[in-house]
Copies of this chain bind each other. A is one copy, B any other.
Amino acid sequence: MDDADNEAARQRVLEAADRLFYAHGIRAVGMDRIRDASGVSLKRLYRCFASKDELVEAYLRRRDRWVRGELADFVAKEATGLPRERVLAVFDWLEWWFGEPDFRGCPFTNAFNEVGADSARAAAAVRDHQLAVSAYLRGLIAATGAADPDAVTNRCLVLYAGSLMFATISGTTSPAKYARETAAAILPPESGSR
C-alpha cells in the first residue's frame, strides 16, 4: 500500500533531516543531501513534504516533542517530590543535554536566526516551543508556592535561555550549573517540613 510506504519514507526523511539540520544548519543542508541520507528519492520526498519550508517545520515540531519529552521524563525521574527540586532538575537536565556529544546549541534559536525572517511556519514552530516550555516551567514553579509565579517563571526562562546560549558559545556544560545556582537563589526556600 502507498500509505504505509509513504509513512515509512516520511519517517526516514524526518530522521535524516533532523540529524543534518541540527548538525550543520538548515541553509547548509540541501534537499539532495537529505535524499542521500534518507534513501528517499526527491520525487517521493516532495510528495511527503511539499517544500523545504514544510520539512523544516516538521523538523522543529519533532525536536519540540523530543526536548519537552526528555525534559519532562528527566524531571519526573530524577527529582524528589519537592517542588523546588523539580524546578532545579530542569537545569540538571540542561547540563546533561549540553554534555551530549551532538549538542549544537538550541535548535529553535538556531532555526529562528537562520530562516525565521523568511519562513512564517518555522517562526511559528519556534514560538510554539517557547510557549510550551514556558507553560511547563510555570507549572513547576507554581507548585513551589512562590509569591509571584509569573515573575519567577520569567526569571527562570532568562536563566534557561542564557545557559543554552552560554553553553553553545563556550562549548562547556557549566553554564547549566551557573543557572542552577542562580535559580536556587530566587526560588522560595523549601516550604518547611510538610
Contacts and interface: CB of A to CB of B under 8 A. Distances in A.
Interface in A84-107: 105
A67 interface: no
Q: Give chain A's interface secondary structure class.
A: helix
Given A114-B113, A117-B28, A182-B186, A158 B163 contact: yes
Interface residues of A, number: 38
Contact of A155 (B105, B109, B127, B181): B181
Contacts of A159: 158-159, 162, 182
Could you say how many copies of this chain the assembly holds? 2
Interface string A152-163: 001101111111
A41 interface: no
B161 A157 contact: no
Interface string A127-151: 1001000000000000000000001
